[in-house]
Amino acid sequence: MSDPLDLMADRARHEPLFFGYLLERYAQSQALDDAALAAHLGITLQTLRLLRLAGCPATEPSRLRLQIHLLAEAHGIQTGLLLEVVQQALAESPLPASAPSELLTPEPA
Amino acid sequence: MSFRFPSPKSALELHQRLLQNDVLAPQAACLAFLPALTAYLQHKFPSADPHLHATAATDALMDYLRQPHRFDPSRGNLYSYLCLIAQRDFQNLQRNARRHRHVELPEEFGNSSQSTVLDAILAAEQYEQSQRQLAQLAQRLPQLDQRVLRLMLQKERSTSVYARAMHLDHLSHHQQQRQVKRAKDRILKRLLRGVLHV
């Protein structure tokens, strides 16, 4: 039976509103399959699936850093490493117009 | 994983987080809403293909996440809203599946004599056991390519159906056409190479 979360995580690779979209661009630029990407981030495949379903961060630098920090902390990843992945993915090409606009994000607790 | 929808209060809080572009909100929404939506469809349409339940639930949640502002809390609760979308998406998928039911398409893709796209390969006398070869080759294709091939064998003509299967909804029609054509060409080349042993 199809797991809907697997289906969603798969679709997140191609949907600009998800973090999976950036991860997919990074993975393709580095020719990494899922296992290699998870290993690079220091997480399991299960956590990678969850990470794909997070939202795409804002691209404005100060908000980007804050949101990447939130994502990294929530998934047990080094913030610097995740930031590097995102910056590499964004360097490949800008996000499409359908990516989420930059709004305020809650302050970390 | 819970199959129960969050309380109206929790659901609304999550909705507000989405509106504020909380970067962790989409993930939380998937975990909170998707299993429950799938269970709703399973309950409502128990005899349907389970893959349809999961696909429709995913489609519905995707529609919501792309435009969460379309939900108006003053007009009802989020659960009802999502279930309505999921039901609509399910019925659309079911309608499309029925439209092609006359084409008997076994899992192996092997003996569909109605595919004009692959008629040249299937009919070629010099390729012994070409149908079994084709089935084996098809199974080695990535999952997305298998979905496209299935549509090709069903003689699907609509670009939007292919685009949906390939998750290209966010692209313009022209971009979808280009991507769909590329995918079809790629698949045919791989199959031909495999059959010809080139």
DSSP for B177-195, please give it: HHHHHHHHHHHHHHHHHHH
> Does any CB of chain A come closer than 8 Å to the CB of residue B44?
no
Nearest to A15 among B38, B57, B167 (CB): B167
Same domain, B96 and B16: yes
For residue B142, give the nearest of A48, A33, A8, A25 by alpha carbon: A33
Name which residue leads in pLDDT, B61 or B188. B61
Give the separation between CA A73 and CA A55, rounded to whole angstroms.
14
Which pLDDT belongs to residue B142?
84
Residue B119 lies in a domain: no
**pLDDT over 50 at B51, yes or no:** yes
Which pLDDT belongs to residue B105?
45
- Quote the mean pLDDT of chain B: 81
The residues on A that touch B, with CB distances below 8 Å, are 1-5, 7-8, 10-11, 14-19, 50-51, 53-58, 67, 70-71, 74, 96, 98, 100-106
Same domain, B151 and B197: yes
Task: Tell me which residue range forms the domain holding B59.
Answer: 1-103
Name which residue leads in pLDDT, B110 or A31. A31
Same domain, B12 and B83: yes
Name which residue leads in pLDDT, A7 or B118. A7
**pLDDT over 50 at B107, yes or no:** no
Same domain, B137 and B184: yes
Among A17, A68, A69, the strongest candidate for a mutation testing the B interface, having the largest count of B CBs within 10 A, is A17
Residue B92 lies in a domain: yes
Residue B176 lies in a domain: yes
> Does any CB of chain A come closer than 8 Å to the CB of residue B23?
yes
**pLDDT over 60 at A109, yes or no:** no
> Does any CB of chain A come closer than 8 Å to the CB of residue B16?
no
Residue B47 lies in a domain: yes
> Does any CB of chain A come closer than 8 Å to the CB of residue B172?
no
Name which residue leads in pLDDT, A8 or B99. A8
Out of A80-84, A103-107, B49-53, B63-67, pick the least confident: A103-107
CA angle at B83 for the pair B78 and B85, rounded to the nearest 5°: 100
**Interval B111-167: pLDDT, tens:** 444 344 455 555 554 444 556 667 777 878 888 888 888 888 877 878 888 888 888
Residue B172 lies in a domain: yes
Residue of chain B minimizing CA distance to A74: B24
Give the separation between CA B30 and CA B105, rounded to whole angstroms.
32
Record: contact A4-B51, CB cut-off 8 A: no
Same domain, B51 and B149: no
The average pLDDT across B6-31 equals: 95
**Interval B69-104: pLDDT, tens:** 999 999 999 999 999 999 999 998 888 877 765 544
The pair of structure tokens assigned to B129 is 């056991």
Same domain, B95 and B137: no
The pair of structure tokens assigned to A97 is 């117009």
What ipTM, to 2 d.p.? 0.86
> If you count residue pairs, one on A and one on B, with CB atoms under 8 Å apart, how many are there?
90
Residue B72 lies in a domain: yes
Same domain, B37 and B95: yes
Name which residue leads in pLDDT, B43 or B119. B43
Same domain, B190 and B160: yes
Q: Domain boundary residue among B103, B133, B160? A: B103
For residue A103, give the nearest of A73, A59, A52 by alpha carbon: A59
Q: What is chain A's alpha carbon radius of gyration, rounded to the nearest angstrom?
A: 13
DSSP letter, residue B101:
T
- Quote the mean pLDDT of chain A: 87
**CATH number for B33:** 1.10.1740
Chain B residues in contact with A74 by the CB 8 A cut-off are 24
Same domain, B174 and B95: no
Residue B113 lies in a domain: no
Record: contact B54-A100, CB cut-off 8 A: no
The pair of structure tokens assigned to B100 is 């092609």
Q: Domain boundary residue among B38, B70, B103? A: B103
Same domain, B66 and B20: yes
- Give the total number of structural domains in chain B: 2
Same domain, B19 and B95: yes
Residue B117 lies in a domain: no
Same domain, B55 and B140: no
The identity of residue B27, as a single letter, is: Q
Contact yes or no for B77/B8 (Cβ under 8 A): yes
Chain B residues in contact with A8 by the CB 8 A cut-off are 30, 34, 58, 61-62
Which pLDDT belongs to residue B173?
82
